[in-house]
Every structure is written in C-alpha cells, then in structure tokens.
Structure 1
Amino acid sequence: MTDEKLMVCLKICICTGISFILLGVYLHNFNDVIEAMAVNGIIISAMCVDFGMILSLPTKMYLTFLLVMREAETCHK
C-alpha cells in the first residue's frame, strides 16, 4: 500500500472514529430511547464512544509520525 492510500485510509478511520464519538454523545445526552433502556442504553452509548476512540486516537498519532517523517525527508534534500 502506498503512502497516499494509507493516509486516505487513516483519514477515513479518523472521520469514522469522530462520528462514532459524536453518535455516542448524542445517544447519551439527547436520545429518549437510550434513556428508557437504562443500563443497556448507557452501555450502547459508551461502546460508540469507545469504538470512536479506538479508531481515532492511534491513527492521529500514526499520521503525525508520517507527516513528521515526510517533513524530515524534504528538509534533508
């Protein structure tokens, strides 16, 4: 996989992760169905936030690493 394809894939993962986090916050704060489900509803909204964190945080660190490496290569040329 080329760097460009990898970066596009990682950006998609970041966007998906942020979407899951926002969905979890929405479900927890504004959805009456989740509130009516009590503990199960809390678990569902927490799982959305968890999956969002899993998808978004490591990819941000890896993208930062790739961009720093690319910057270092262009400075040394």
Structure 2
Amino acid sequence: MTDRLLIILIRLSITIGLCLILLGVYLHNFNDAVASMGVDGIIISSMCVAFGMVLSLPTKMYLTFLLVVRESEKNEDLN
C-alpha cells in the first residue's frame, strides 16, 4: 500500500469518526425520539460518540507521526 493511499484511508477514517461524533451529539441533544427512549437512547448516542473517537483520534496521531518523519528526512537531506 502506498503512502498516498494510506493517507487517503486515514483521512476517510477521520471524516467518518467526526461524522459519528456529530451524529451522537445531535442524537443526544436535538432528537426527541432518542430522548424518549431513556437509558437506551443515551447508550445509542454515547456509542456513536465513542466509535467516532476510536476512528478519529489514533489516525490523527499516525498522521502527525508521518509528518514528523517526513520533516526529519527533509532536514537530514539539507545537512
């Protein structure tokens, strides 16, 4: 797998994660059907937020790691 394809997949994962987080916030605050479900509705909205965080946070750390490695390689080439 090339770096370009990997970065595209990681960005897609971040986007899906952020969408799930926003969906969980919407369900918890603005949706009356989920609010009327009681504890089950809270579990549904919190699972959306949890899965969104699982998808978005580690991929951001990996992208940061890739950027640091590229920057250090560029600095080594200049010296």
Q: Would you say same fold, with TM above 0.5?
A: yes
Q: Distance in 2 between matches of 1:71 and 1:11?
A: 20
Matched residue, 2:65 = 65
TM-score (normalizing by structure 1): 0.97
Superposed structure 1 runs of 4+ greater than 6 Å apart: none
Deviation at 1:32, TM superposition (A): 0.4
Q: Based on CA coordinates, which of the two structures has the bigger radius of gyration? A: 2
Mind listing any 5+ residue stretches in structure 2 that lack a counterpart? Answer: none
**CA-atom RMSD in angstroms:** 0.5
Q: Distance in 1 between matches of 2:48 and 2:34?
A: 12
Matched residue, 1:3 = 3
Matched residue, 1:25 = 25
Number of residues of Structure 1 aligned to a counterpart in Structure 2: 77
Deviation at 1:76, TM superposition (A): 1.0
Mind listing any 5+ residue stretches in structure 1 that lack a counterpart? Answer: none
Taking only the aligned residue pairs, the percentage that are identical comes to 62
Q: Distance in 2 between matches of 1:71 and 1:12?
A: 23
Q: Distance in 1 between matches of 2:14 and 2:23?
A: 14
Deviation at 1:75, TM superposition (A): 1.4
Matched residue, 1:49 = 49
Q: Distance in 2 between matches of 1:66 and 1:49?
A: 26
